[in-house]
A and B are shown apart, each in its own frame.
Chain A
């Protein structure tokens, strides 16, 4: 009743949640044995920058557009094609519509 079946496999969310709950309680308890204190407001809580002085938040903040550099760099050729495709011109939007229409007409027309 709670198991989602696809014919090839299954997934029971309730069971997983229960397992998660039990292990959570266990490890939350275990975690409680650990030391919870630290010296607030000292050097400890500054960001670790290999001994350099901490700059202001604006300078230290890594901007969203710099994220996933590794992925975008290795997929550079793909991105250049896609950027060329997204021109932002309404006439190009319609061109794509006409193009898809023509290709599909050709396929179903030949068939």
Chain B
């Protein structure tokens, strides 16, 4: 490897990660503002202005950063930062706005599945380290929720990769492969289509739990646990968790878009390079908005919070069974279609 290639990679790492961090933070807060405004309107309230999340963060930075007596200070202070940077690092592996991933051969779907654990894990450890009973109850609930939704989520990820493998694609876990061969084009007949539709619904239902939104927010549960695992956090540490929440929304929505709707408009409209880029970015942001609307805003205004054992039950029994049905339908898809074409 010569100096030129090395310096190129170095520049990519530095500017790419800085740029993606800015992108993630900015749009995370924007979508948070949109979500709050929309849900307020749905509940017949006026709601805060769109830029309210930016103001919240600015305000949190001038508030006192309290470390409680029972907390372990070094873990308590470090964890919010680790959660934020861990979440931001996922963005370098995702295709965003029509562009291929920044490091498409640096990590794949399994890596992203694991990195998605980091924000929740940091919330959990942060809650445990604050030493307050409310926070500890909240943290253990968050962990139980994480165990619960990871089962259907794993089924979905493996099904998509397995289906691509059956179609003779190589490097099936790579995001560039998945984005260039959309799942809907890789089904042989109606069975596969139904299977993937079921899996899409499951993924949309996993998203609110991943983002700890109602009805799966028993870890924070303002009414009973007073904010749960965040109860002792304040000031800049809380700001870090606030930003993490925003970035996590963008990451999760981008994953859904990359897995199920990786289509772009520029090729369809036959636009030039720059117009095409702009159209693709706008279209991508619109797709992310739709995902946020359906799996966050609409669900959280229409359903009440579930109890923690109900959450575990929901994910481990009905949703796991649903995603297993999806998996079986996808597995039988090509078998049945082969049967019809040969018979």
Contacts and interface: CB of A to CB of B under 8 A. Distances in A.
Nearest to A25: B85
A111 interface: no
Given A35-B62, A73-B309, A47 B232 contact: yes
B140 A11 contact: no
A97 interface: no
A44 B81 contact: no
B205 interface: no
A45 B65 CA distance: 10
A47 B70 contact: yes
Contacts of A82: none
Size bracket, chain B contacts: 35 or more
A20 B89 contact: yes
Interface in B51-106: 60-70, 81, 84-86, 88-89, 92, 103, 105-106
B141 A44 contact: no
Given A9-B108, A68-B144, A75-B312, A27 B85 contact: yes
Given A23-B85, A49-B134, A36 B106 contact: no
Given A22-B14, A34-B236, A35-B62, A46 B69 contact: yes
A27 B111 contact: no
A49 B232 CA distance: 10
Contact of B103 (A15, A26, A39): A15
Contacts of A38: 64-67, 234-235
Contact of A68 (B18, B89, B140): B140
B279 interface: no
B107 interface: yes
A7 B136 CA distance: 42
Size bracket, chain A contacts: 35 or more
B316 to A, nearest CB: 7
B110 interface: yes
Nearest to B21: A23
B13 A19 contact: yes
B64 A44 contact: yes
A46 B71 CA distance: 10
A90 interface: no
A45 B131 contact: no
B61 A35 contact: yes
B251 interface: no
A50 interface: yes
A105 to B, nearest CB: 32
A34 B106 contact: no
Interface string A18-43: 11101110111001011111110000
Contacts of B40: none
A26 to B, nearest CB: 6
B102 to A, nearest CB: 9
B190 interface: no
B123 interface: no
Contacts of A69: 140, 144, 308-309
B264 interface: no
B16 to A, nearest CB: 8
B17 A22 contact: yes
Contacts of A23: 17-18, 21, 84-85, 88-89
A105 B232 CA distance: 59
Contact of A70 (B69, B141, B226): B141
Interface of A: 3, 7-12, 15-16, 18-20, 22-24, 26-28, 31, 33-39, 44-50, 57, 60, 62, 67-71, 73-75
Given A22-B18, A71-B144, A74-B313, 12 more contacts: A9-B171, A12-B103, A16-B111, A19-B103, A22-B13, A22-B14, A24-B81, A27-B84, A47-B70, A48-B132, A70-B218, A71-B312
Q: What 10 A-B pairs come out closest when comparing CB atoms?
A: A34-B236, A70-B308, A9-B173, A9-B108, A47-B132, A34-B61, A12-B106, A74-B312, A38-B64, A23-B85
